Amino acid sequence: MESQKMHLRHVTLHCFRKGNSAKDTADEIFTVYGSGTTTIRTVGNWFKKFRAGNFELKDEDPATTHTDIIKTVLTENPRYSVREIVDATNIPKTTVHKHRYEVLVPHGDLLTETGLMNRFDWDVLPHPPYSPDLAPSDYYLFLSLKNSLRGKSFKSISEIKTHLDEYFTRVNLNNFGKRA
């Protein structure tokens, strides 16, 4: 497969030097080697390289990843800002920002959570993702309570307590359980 790719690159270079267009070259390759061997876009990309003066037909070695470079810089000084990393490496600012705050930052740092729980001797109670403390029937209660408080102002805590006591004695709480 690799030798066929290299052969097609030689054919592409030959057609480029003959003065053919990228489309004509692709059509010629399709006629001789079959339609699935390359694409017009690939031939166009090679023509672009040839026009720029790059006649190297071998694949280029992959450049070092930006992540490795950014990791190296941050190892020297973890407090570097995005701008300082950009100035030191000439990597685009958006790439540095993405790597600094998304790629290199662990998502869901369980070690920290575990450390805090152990340090403060906290007990974590398992619970479902929804809140079992708020049943759907409670929402009707809150709406009714909100309506009873609308437009009222209280001068002291005792007035608020009195209003709430009157509200809960007046309201039949059994009605709220039936709506759920």
pLDDT in tens, 87-103: 988 888 988 888 877 76
Within a domain: 125 = no
Within a domain: 43 = yes
Within a domain: 57 = no
User: Mind listing the pLDDT tens digit for each residue in 29-54?
Assistant: 999 988 888 899 999 999 999 999 98
User: Mind listing the pLDDT tens digit for each residue in 56-74?
Assistant: 888 776 656 788 888 888 8
- Residues 4 and 44 reside in one and the same domain: yes
- Residues 84 and 105 reside in one and the same domain: yes
pTM of this structure = 0.37
11 C-beta neighbours (distance < 10 Å), count: 18
Backbone angles phi, psi at 90, to 5 degrees: 60, 25
Cβ–Cβ under 8 Å, residues 67 and 99: yes
- Residues 99 and 72 reside in one and the same domain: yes
The residue range of the domain holding 48 is 1-52
Q: What average pLDDT does the structure give for the chain?
A: 81
Amino acid at 32: V
User: Mind listing the pLDDT tens digit for each residue in 110-124?
Assistant: 556 777 777 777 777
180 pLDDT more than 50: no
The gap between the terminal CA atoms of the chain, to the nearest Å, is 66
The angle at the Cα of 37, spanning 59 to 29, to the nearest 5 degrees, equals 100
- Residues 13 and 46 reside in one and the same domain: yes
For the chain, the domain total comes to 3
Count of alpha carbons within 13 angstroms of residue 104, beta-carbon side: 19
